[in-house]
Structure formats: structure tokens, C-alpha cells
């Protein structure tokens, strides 16, 4: 079987191209129930929506599967999220709820292992809270939005446990589940309600945090929203949402590998993609789709990959839409004007982002120079040969696929992130930049410093990543040393808006003079204009 990134993406995000798809739904848990008495060993929180009984784990209190929105089922499928009305009695919050429906392969994949685990169910709009104590301390808050190419992931994964941040940083941490794939991003232009249903979920969760987090010892006026990949893209998109006073809903943003280079489709473009999806299922319209089981809807993702992929591009079968209701511009622009302009930003990328999708592909390993040059013309036009030579010379012994991967990584992640940093710096808005440079030896080094690799270092919880193949072979001393630098720095930024915390070297804000970018590696150093050559190569003349 050909192992191209399209099929690798399906496998990586849980899809099974042969041997069957696991799409079994299980009922969600955590229903409210009356409690005759409180167990003193179980933490109790009393937010405005209702009383919660959590569990003590790892020295912190955890509240799991807390509903923030009405289940988006039946007539509410493909409708904007509606805030949950709350419950009577004491709700059990000791077990995680269902993850959003998505493709799943039981044996996992060669890079992450798993990025979403059963049970899956449409009744998935829940969040999880970790807090050192239930008191009135007004701790800084981190809300984490998982990535997954808009089709996979879960806020309940052990990868994203808030335990280390809560315990080590005295923070309140929230992770969320939101709709994915066709259930989160199909666009119908129905009743003027817009699209981006996943974005409405995230926004509803964020408002829930603002209104209820004080009951968990958190400060609603000191919230950082952080995310990686599609989650980081979502963080930027949420920056445009303001409170009733016109202020941003959060104070700080951490954008890890945001794919800001995505071309966000217009309504017309999205409707054409929806027509493709309807054709796959043999359905007439959204009314008919609402009668289908979610297993059938999610299963169609496999053929959507087939029909929407393009050679030399990262496959994204479902995308947000510029619907004019929930989103009217590229998310990066929302961090430059309006409520988002006042948000403090930490942004970064990994050095070899695209190796994640292409580095283990047999088909792309056989790519020719002519194929890559043809792809480079999409970006550089008549300067494609010049760009190809530049990328080839930057990596001695580079194969055509290496040039292609570096080009894709720059185009989708690094250059648009640098552009955002440049534009914020020009407006004297606070922004810090980093590049994660530590390569993994897994798969004979073919992944290098790939997309997602920084995540376990940020969370400093390698024990939770034991099933992730891309960490195999890392020297534990090196691994733990880099995490001991990054994790406290993220904690510092969440708490104060400044990532400077020992042992991190002095980390200056990104400005148009020094263009300081922190290189996170075996030896972490502050570099001046780390990617300057590539920033200039991809400048306005390249289009």
C-alpha cells in the first residue's frame, strides 16, 4: 500500500484504510445525582452552574467531564453551541467523558501513537479542571485547546493532563473537548447561523471559564488560552471575541505551531467542499445528514482525504470557513486589532514541522526535483529554482523531499508565525518567539524536530507519553533538561506575561531590531533573527 501523507494523516489521526474503522459509540458518563453527604476525601467545587464532586490526583484536585454546553445532538447537530443550563444536586466529576467522534485505529500510529481515545460520542462538550486547592486565591488560569488537524484529539488525553502545570505552577488548568471533523466544520449556510461550530464550542467553553473559574481558585481576569497546531489556530481565532466591555476574553495567548499559512476558504469554497461530502454519503442536504448516525458521518472522512488532497500539501479534509459570522478574516489579523491587539502573545514552531506528515512517507521519499520545483512554483512563481537551491544548500545532502518538507513547514507554520511577530512588533504589541530545534532520534532521525515534538517538553510529563513512538531514543538527561527549561518558562508567561524564568536564558521580546527568537535545544540560546534569511526569501516578492 502506498504510504503517502494523505494516508499517513488518516492513520495518524486514527483512520483505518484497511481492516475496518472503529466507530463504536459509548454512552457518556457523569450525570448529575443527589448526594446525601460529602466524602471529606473528595474535593467539592460550587460554581454557579451547580455543585461538583471531583477527585484528588497527583496532589491536585481534578474535576472531569464538566458540561459547558448542551449536547449538540438531533436538531442541534450543526448548530452553534448553547451554554449548559446547569444541574441540581451534586454532579459526579471523577471520570472523563466521551471524546468528540473521530477516526480511530486501535494499534495507533508511528508518530504519536494515539491522538484520541474512546469512548466517542456526540455528547462530548465537556471540560476538565485541575486546581491545587479549592479556595479564593485567584490563581492564574491556563485553558488548553488541543490540536489534531481539525479532525482528531481530545482534552481528556493523558498527554494534556493539567496536573504538572497545576502542581508546579500553582495554576488552574482547563482542557476542553469540542466538535471535530464533519461535525465541527461542515458548512451549510443555514439560517444565517454561520459555521465553525467547533469555534462556537471553544468560545462557549471560554465564557464558562470566565463565569465559573473563581469557584476553583482561579482568576477570571488572568486567563491564558494556549494551544498547538489546529488548537493554536483556534486560539488566534478566539482573540477577536471581546467581553461586553470590549476587552478580550483572555489576557495572554500561547500559539504553538499555529498553521496560520492555511488558506481559509470562503463560504462559496466551503459549500463546494460540503457538496463533495454530501456526494460521498449520497445525501441531499443537511436535513438528511441529521438523520445519519455519527459513525457514518465520521467514516466518510477517509474518502474526503482522497478527494480533497493535493500532492505536496498537508491534507486537511475539513477546514474552518470565513463565514462572516464567527470569522471574517485570517485569525492572525485578530491579534493585531480590536480586542486581540491587547493580548500578550508567545508564539513558536518546530524546525522541521512537515517531517511529521512527510518524513516517513515512501512515496514522498521518491519525489523528484522536477516534482518539487513544480510545487515550489505555487509559492515562489518564477523564483522557484532560486528557492529550491536555497533550501538544498541549507541542508547538505538534501533530497528533493527534504526541500519539499522545509518549504511546506515554512509556508504553513514558520513564515506566517514570523510575519505575525513582525506585525505585532511594528505596533509595539508584546510578543515572544521561539523555535524548537531538538531532533528526535526515532525512526533513524527522519522526523527530526517535527510537528508536535515540543508538547511533552511543555507539559513536562513524559510518563504520560510512553506510547508515543516519536520520543523513542531520546537521552533522558537531555530530554529532562530541555523540559526543565521550557516548562517553568511557560508557567512564568501564564502567570506574569513574561517567559523569563531560570534556567531559561534571558528572553527578550521580539522587536524589529534584534528579532530575538529563543532556540530550544540541548543548549538553549537566544538568537537574533534566527530565520531571517527564510523570512526574506518568502517576502512579498515570492508571491
Say how far apart CA 442 and CA 450 lie, in whole Å: 11
Element (H, E) at 225: strand 218-228
CA angle 530, 534, 540 (to 5 degrees): 130
For residue 287, whether the previous peptide bond is cis, meaning omega lies within 30 degrees of 0, is no
Q: Are residues 160 and 302 in the same domain?
A: yes
Residue whose entry in the numeric block shows the C-alpha cell 506510547: 467
In a domain, 218, yes or no: yes
Q: Do 254 and 313 belong to one domain?
A: yes
The pLDDT, as a whole number, for residue 41 is 66
Whether 326 and 409 share a structural domain: no
DSSP track, 453-484: TTHHHHHT-GGGGTT-GGGTT--HHHHHHHHH
Tens of pLDDT along the chain (543 residues)?
A: 333 333 333 333 333 222 233 343 333 334 443 333 445 469 999 999 999 999 999 999 999 999 999 999 999 999 999 999 999 999 999 999 999 999 999 888 999 999 888 999 999 999 999 999 999 999 999 999 999 999 999 999 999 999 999 999 999 999 999 999 999 999 999 888 899 999 999 999 999 999 999 999 999 999 999 999 999 999 999 998 877 677 889 999 999 999 999 999 999 999 999 999 999 999 999 999 999 999 999 999 999 999 999 999 999 999 999 999 999 999 999 999 989 999 999 999 999 999 999 999 999 999 999 999 999 999 999 999 999 999 999 988 999 999 999 999 999 999 999 999 999 999 999 999 999 999 999 999 999 999 999 999 999 999 999 999 999 999 999 999 999 999 999 999 999 999 999 999 999 999 999 999 999 999 999 999 999 999 999 986 443
Residue of 352, 353, 411, 454 marked catalytic: 353
**353 is known as an active-site residue:** yes
Domain-embedded: residue 35? no
* Residue 299 and residue 379 in one domain: no
Residue 396 is predicted with a pLDDT of 86
Q: How far is CA 281 from CA 123, 388, 432, in A?
A: 23, 41, 45
Indicate the residue among 310, 342, 374 that finishes a domain: 342
Amino acid 16: pLDDT: 29
Q: Centre a 10 Å sphere on the Cβ of residue 395 and count the other Cβ atoms it contains.
A: 14
399 and 251 both lie in a single domain:
no
CATH code for the domain of 68: 3.40.50.1820
Q: Is 229 a catalytic residue?
A: yes
- Asked if the bond preceding 119 is cis, omega within 30° of 0, the reply is yes
Which among 125, 167, 119, 108 is positioned nearest to 142, based on CA atoms?
167
pLDDT of residue 391: 97
**Residue 42 is among the residues annotated as catalytic for this protein:** no
**Same domain for 269 and 404?**
no
Any bridge partners for residue 397, and if so which?
A: none
Question: Do 320 and 392 lie in a common domain?
Answer: no
Q: How far apart are CA 78 and CA 362, in angstroms?
A: 38
Is there a single domain that holds both residue 450 and residue 517?
Answer: yes
In 3D space, the residue among 303, 312, 142, 168 whose CA is nearest the CA of residue 231 turns out to be 142
C-alpha cell at 150: 481539525
Looking at the domain assignment, is residue 351 inside a domain? no
Name every residue whose Cβ is closer than 8 Å to that of residue 276 and which is 6 or more positions away in sequence.
Answer: 304, 307, 308
pTM of the predicted structure, to 2 decimals? 0.93
In a 13 Å sphere around the CA of 456, the CA atoms on its Cβ side amount to: 24
- The answer to the question of residue 358 being in a domain is no
* 360 occurs within a structural domain: no
**How does DSSP assign 398-434, residue by residue?**
--HHHHHHHHHHIIIIIHHHHHHHHHHHHTT--EEEE
pLDDT in tens, 483-510: 999 999 999 999 999 999 999 999 999 9
In a domain, 350, yes or no: no
Total domains in the chain come to: 2
Distance CA 511, CA 418 (A): 11
Q: How far is CA 177 from the centre of its chain?
A: 11
Catalytic pick among 152, 156, 161, 229: 229
The Cα 240–Cα 333 span in angstroms is: 9
Residue 85: what are its φ and ψ, rounded to 5°?
-75, -10
Q: What pLDDT was estimated at residue 34?
A: 35
Q: Is 18 exposed, middle or buried (0-12, 13-18, 19+ CB in 10 A)?
A: exposed
Q: Are residues 328 and 388 in the same domain?
A: no
For residues 50 and 149, is the Cβ–Cβ distance under 8 A?
no
Q: What is the pLDDT of residue 188?
A: 95
520 within a domain of the structure (yes/no): yes
Domain with 446 in it: 366-429+438-542
380 and 294, same domain (yes or no): no
Q: Which of 146, 451, 487, 538 is catalytic?
A: 451
Quick one: 318 and 418 in the same domain? no
Same domain, 211 and 331: yes
Which of these three, 309, 342, 375, is where a domain ends?
342
pLDDT tens digits, residue range 157-214?
Answer: 999 999 999 999 999 999 999 999 999 999 999 888 899 999 999 999 999 999 999 9
Residue 329 lies in a domain: yes
Amino acid at each position: 500500500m502506498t504510504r503517502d501523507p494523505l494516508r499517513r494523516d488518516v492513520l495518524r489521526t486514527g483512520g483505518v484504510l484497511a481492516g475496518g474503522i472503529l466507530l463504536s459509540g459509548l454512552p457518556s458518563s457523569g450525570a448529575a445525582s443527589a448526594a446525601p453527604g460529602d466524602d471529606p476525601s473528595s474535593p467539592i467545587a460550587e460554581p454557579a452552574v451547580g455543585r461538583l464532586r471531583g477527585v484528588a490526583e497527583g496532589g491536585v484536585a481534578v474535576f472531569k467531564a464538566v458540561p459547558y454546553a448542551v449536547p449538540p445532538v438531533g436538531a442541534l447537530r450543526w448548530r452553534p453551541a448553547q451554554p449548559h443550563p446547569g444541574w441540581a444536586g451534586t454532579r459526579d466529576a471523577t471520570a472523563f467523558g466521551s471524546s468528540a467522534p473521530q477516526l480511530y485505529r486501535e494499534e495507533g500510529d508511528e508518530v504519536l501513537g494515539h491522538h484520541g481515545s474512546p469512548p466517542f460520542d456526540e455528547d462530548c462538550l465537556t471540560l476538565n479542571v485541575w486546581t491545587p486547592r479549592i479556595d479564593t486565591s485567584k490563581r492564574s488560569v491556563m485553558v488548553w485547546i488541543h490540536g489534531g488537524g481539525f479532525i482528531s484529539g481530545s482534552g481528556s488525553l493523558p498527554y494534556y493532563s493539567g496536573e504538572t502545570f497545576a502542581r508546579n505552577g500553582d495554576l488552574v488548568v482547563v482542557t476542553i473537548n469540542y466538535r471535530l471533523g464533519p461535525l465541527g466544520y461542515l458548512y451549510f449556510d443555514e439560517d444565517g447561523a454561520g459555521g465553525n461550530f467547533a469555534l462556537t464550542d471553544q468560545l462557549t467553553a471560554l465564557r464558562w471559564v470566565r463565569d465559573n473559574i473563581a469557584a476553583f481558585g482561579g482568576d477570571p481576569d488572568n486567563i491564558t488560552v494556549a494551544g498547538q497546531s489546529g488548537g493554536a489556530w483556534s486560539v488566534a481565532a478566539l482573540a477577536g471575541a471581546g467581553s461586553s466591555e470590549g476587552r478580550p476574553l483572555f489576557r495572554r495567548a500561547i500559539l504553538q505551531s499555529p498553521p496560520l499559512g492555511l488558506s481559509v476558504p470562503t463560504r462559496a469554497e466551503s459549500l463546494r467542499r460540503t457538496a463533495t461530502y454530501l456526494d460521498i454519503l449520497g445525501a441531499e442536504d443537511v436535513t438528511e445528514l441529521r438523520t445519519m448516525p455519527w459513525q457514518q458521518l465520521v467514516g466518510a472522512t477517509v474518502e474526503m482525504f482522497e478527494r480533497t488532497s493535493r500532492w505536496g500539501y498537508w491534507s486537511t479534509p475539513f477546514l474552518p470557513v470565513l463565514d462572516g459570522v464567527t470569522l471574517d478574516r485570517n485569525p492572525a489579523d485578530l491579534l493585531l486589532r480590536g480586542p486581540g491587539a491587547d493580548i500578550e502573545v508567545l508564539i513558536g514552531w518546530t524546525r522541521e514541522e512537515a517531517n511529521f506528515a512527510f518524513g516517513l512517507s515512501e512515496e514522498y521519499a521518491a519525489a523528484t526535483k522536477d516534482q518539487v520545483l513544480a510545487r515550489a512554483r505555487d509559492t515562489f512563481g518564477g523564483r522557484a529554482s532560486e528557492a529550491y537551491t536555497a533550501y538544498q544548500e541549507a541542508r547538505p545532502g538534501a533530497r528533493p523531499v527534504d526541500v519539499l518538507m522545509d518549504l511546506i513547514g515554512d509556508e504553513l507554520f514558520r513564515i506566517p508565525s514570523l510575519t505575525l511577530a513582525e506585525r505585532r512588533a511594528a505596533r509595539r504589541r508584546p510578543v515572544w518567539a521561539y523555535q524548537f530545534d531538538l531532533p528526535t532520534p526515532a525512526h533513524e532521525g527522519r522526523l527530526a524536530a517535527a510537528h508536535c515534538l515540543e508538547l511533552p517538553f511543555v507539559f513536562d510529563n513524559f510518563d504520560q507519553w510512553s506510547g508515543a513512538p516519536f520520543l523513542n531514543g531520546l537521552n533522558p538527561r537531555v530530554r529532562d533538561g530541555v523540559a526543565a527549561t521550557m516548562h517553568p518558562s511557560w508557567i512564568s508567561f501564564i502567570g506574569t506575561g513574561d517567559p523569563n524564568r531560570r534556567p531559561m536564558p534571558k528572553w527578550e521580546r521580539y522587536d524589529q531590531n534584534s528579532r530575538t527568537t529563543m532556540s530550544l535545544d540541548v543548549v538553549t540560546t537566544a538568537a537574533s533573527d534566527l530565520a531571517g534569511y527564510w523570512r526574506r526569501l518568502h517576502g512579498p516578492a515570492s508571491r
